[in-house]
Structure 1
């Protein structure tokens, strides 16, 4: 089986969330890259070229909305699905405003995390 390993980038300044998500996703066979800020985001994402991006709303320095919009303006990176995640009650509005494909409210359970990531992967494969 020579399938390319699925790669995900997680932007979150909460180390606990990064380690939990990394652990779960690595168990599922993902290659996980994490960043605690979104500075030089296009360089970071270009270097990895992930299948999916998880974006926290309160990521330093610019914040998740600007970070996501920056990616969506980039010709090469704009088709990478972004899952916006936040504990903010307006998460759906924030995700729409950012241009993210979908969102995940914190706190989330791990099944939900997997379901959301797999749903954007399927859409990407089928588009």
Structure 2
């Protein structure tokens, strides 16, 4: 059997982290969460996810800077980063960060599963 695809979710909202974990574990993914994007390169290297969800409003290092750091790293830049935020301007924030896609909050469960499937095929 193939190993589970790994999803890493960065968000400082524990409710969002719990919700995403439940939905994606039910869909057959392995999940890791973090409420901070400090030491983003070390955190991601330690887990080697197949896809990353990045919130915009994170303490200390924000989502844009964290995403830029990932996309600037030769080892990690291939991992799709999905920007997700309740900000009305999530599309342009995702573009500014260099993310591979975005998901607006609040989101439908189907939308969350669709975007993961789209980037992990």
Q: TM class, shorter-chain normalised?
A: over 0.9
Counterpart for residue 33 of structure 1: 32
Q: TM-score, normalised by structure 2?
A: 0.98
1:10 aligns with 2:9: yes
5 Å matches for 1:12-91? 12-91=11-90
Counterpart for residue 111 of structure 2: 112
1:59 CA displacement: 1.2
Q: Which runs of 5+ in 2 are unaligned?
A: none
Question: Partners of 1:119 and 1:26 in 2: how far apart?
Answer: 17
Aligned length: 121
1:3 CA displacement: 0.4
Question: Partners of 1:46 and 1:70 in 2: how far apart?
Answer: 12
Instruction: List per-residue Cα deviations over 1:23-66 (Å, max 9, x = no partner).
Output: 11011111100000000000000010000000000012110000
Q: TM-score, normalised by structure 1?
A: 0.94
TM superposition outliers: structure 1 runs of 4+ over 3 Å? none
Q: Which runs of 5+ in 1 are unaligned?
A: 123-127
1:102 aligns with 2:95: no
